[in-house]
Amino acid sequence: MKTTLATNTDHTKSWYMVDAADETLGRVAVKIANVLRGRHKPTYTPHADTGDFVVVVNAEKIKLSGKKNTQKTYMFYSGWMGGDSYVNIKDMRQKKPEFIIEHAVKGMLPRNRLGRQMIKKLKIYAGSEHPHEAQQPKPLV
């Protein structure tokens, strides 16, 4: 038997939708990362982008476990001496709730040009409205 390895043109990309309301951040991020990589398909190939598109709605209603609502911080660095800044997750949830899910999913993808290509297939929206109705996204279970 010969092993067939998928290429980028061998498959069709589907669209999935995730409702992040009252879902735990890490558990949702794992499901999203697996779909973006294509690990849910039998044609999964590690060196090819065989994944699908994912639309996430209600990002502002994501749930965190433990004391993360008060203790978790994100660190940003400007590149200058003393240019590091810290943002609490409560402030990030008010200003840019999409970043919370994107940061968690991006950490689960490969750190190379393939991972940068995969993260572009993730569309995150704070509310329940999204402009991808024409693609008819299926709910991700």
Domain residue limits, the chain: 15-132
Exposed/middle/buried for 83, CB within 10 Å: 0-12, 13-18, 19+?
A: exposed
**pTM score of the predicted model:** 0.93
Topology adopted by domain 15-132: Ribosomal Protein L13p; Chain: A; (3.90.1180)
- Closest to 33 (Cα-Cα) out of 112, 106, 137: 106
- Closest to 51 (Cα-Cα) out of 62, 35, 63, 65: 35
Q: pLDDT of 41-93, one tens digit each?
A: 998 999 999 999 999 999 999 999 999 999 999 999 999 999 999 999 999 99
Arithmetic mean of pLDDT, 108-113: 98
CB-based contacts of 110-117 (< 8 A; 24+ apart in sequence): 114/47, 114/49, 117/49
pLDDT at 28 over 90: yes
The rounded distance, in Å, linking the Cα atoms of 102 and 62 is 12
Is 65 within 8 Å of 133 (Cβ atoms)?
no
